[in-house]
Amino acid sequence: MATAARALAPSPPAVHERLYRALRTRIMLGELPPGRALTLRGIAAEERVSMTPAREAVRRLVAEGALTLSASGRVSTPALSVERIEELAALRALIEPELASRALPRAHFALIDRLAAINTAIGEAAQNHDAVGYIRTNLEFHRTLYLRAQAPAMLAMLETIWLQLGPTMRAVYQRMRRNEAPRHHRMILAALRAGDEPALRLAVRTDVTQGLRHLLPAPADAGR
């Protein structure tokens, strides 16, 4: 019986899978700044693994756009151009309002209360100037809502965009110097309580794009 139970139990993730997930999370949360150079040897030493799982994890992250690989073999976190930031912001503005709209019919009061609690945690992270905590809870706010959309392919696509933006979002936070949760989150919560789909779409679209605008050059600078 014990043998059968062991056979049915899920096997632990491979070393490279655990390393991949750990690096992916660090990049998505902005723990690594834009343009940070990484080496396979350094990753392997830091995570206490061999070169093979480090190489496999980096390969997967490069394929997702979370890391860049130069012609010389240099691996680094992405330093996004203005054009790339605008492109990713446009994708967020398309996907996230749609996910929120699909989630609305399943947004029961318990979910809204959960979102409000997460939003409080975002404000606490902002007051403590905890950039990583701010990004983590902000993503948790959006993911918790979007999971109710029951659109896994769309959410997976969105998480790839979040992943590419992770280091840049850290720079956004540092430039904005927030001391409270995003004000558009309150608008999202109000729209959910009212069941107002147009207001929800507008609040989500504004929330996911206004922060990235702080990284774009001012009109006067663009003309220089």
Domains of the chain with CATH codes:
12-76 (1.10.10.10), 82-215 (1.20.120.530)
Separation in Å, CA 85 to CA 80, 154, 166, 172, 215: 6, 20, 11, 11, 8
Confidence at 10, pLDDT banded by 50, 70, 90: very low
- Edge to edge, what strands does the sheet with 37-38 contain? 37-38, 75-76, 68-69
Summarize pLDDT for 18-77 with one digit per residue, the tens: 899 999 999 999 898 888 999 888 888 888 888 888 889 999 999 999 999 888 878 999
Rounded Cα–Cα distance for residues 19 and 55 (Å): 10
CB 146 within 8 A of CB 118: no
Please determine, for residue 6, whether its predicted confidence score (pLDDT) is greater than 70: no
Mean pLDDT of the chain: 86
208 versus 179: the higher-pLDDT residue is: 208
* pLDDT for the residue 224: 45
> Pick from 173, 170, 205, 212: which is nearest to 83 by CA?
212
Comparing 137-146, 154-163, 209-218, which segment has the lowest mean pLDDT?
209-218
Q: Which range, of 88-92, 161-165, 220-224, averages the lowest pLDDT?
A: 220-224
Percentage of the chain with pLDDT > 90? 54
pLDDT attached to residue 184:
92
Of residues 223 and 111, more confidence is placed in 111
Torsion of CA 46, 49, 55, 59, to 10 degrees: -80
